[in-house]
Amino acid sequence: QVQLQESGPGLVKPSETLSLTCVVSGYFISSGYYWGWIRQPPGKGLEWIESMYHSGNTYYNPSLKSRVTISVDTSKNQFSLELSSVTASDTAVYYCARHLVGATEAFDIWGQGTMVTVSS
């Protein structure tokens, strides 16, 4: 059973960099699939951020691309998101998910989400 678990700081100051990690269990990310990040501001809808393959191939939301950095650590079976120069509008629940790119294009397995607040 594939499971994803996000972790992060909870609180980030404006202009700093938000860093999140998603640990995958039940499947080796080096075996395939894309792995993505989606966020949801409080009371608002979902926004796709990026999706990456273990080899490093990555697709980005054009509106966030300039501030997003991704990385993958196959030895720890985890992938990470960094979002730079954050503002209050980056306050959201951040989800990681398995993304079936090149197949159904759906996000079929999601983590429980981690809340990040941007505030001084």
Partner 1 sequence: QSALTQPASVSGSPGQSITISCTGTSSDVGSYNLVSWYQQHPGKAPKLMIYEGSKRPSGVSNRFSGSKSGNTASLRISGLQAEDEADYYCCSYAGSSTWVFGGGTKLTVL
In the complex, least distance from residue 79 CB atom to partner 1, rounded to whole angstroms: 17
CA–CA distance from 100 to each of 80, 83, 93, 118 (Å)?
18, 23, 22, 31
How far is 77 from 104, CA to CA, in rounded Å?
Answer: 23
In the complex, least distance from residue 51 CB atom to partner 1, rounded to whole angstroms: 8
Q: Which region among 16-24, 72-80, 83-91, 110-118 touches partner 1 (by CB under 8 A)?
A: 110-118
Q: Are 8 and 22 in contact (CB under 8 A)?
A: no
For 16, phi then psi, to 5°, come to: -85, -175
Choose which of 54, 111, 116, 118 interacts with partner 1 (CB under 8 A): 111
Q: Which region among 9-17, 66-74, 79-87, 101-109 touches partner 1 (by CB under 8 A)?
A: 101-109
Give the interface size with partner 1 as a residue count (CB under 8 A): 23
Kindly identify the residues of this chain, within the stretch 18-77, that bind partner 1 according to CB under 8 A: 38, 44-48, 51, 59, 61-63
Write down the residue that tokens 């030895």 correspond to: 75
Q: Which is nearer to partner 1, 58 or 78 (CB)?
A: 58
Name the region of 113 (left: φ>0; alpha: ψ -120 to 50; beta: rest): left
Q: What is the DSSP letter of 75?
A: T
- Residues in contact with partner 1 by CB under 8 A are 38, 44-48, 51, 59, 61-63, 95, 100-101, 104-108, 110-113
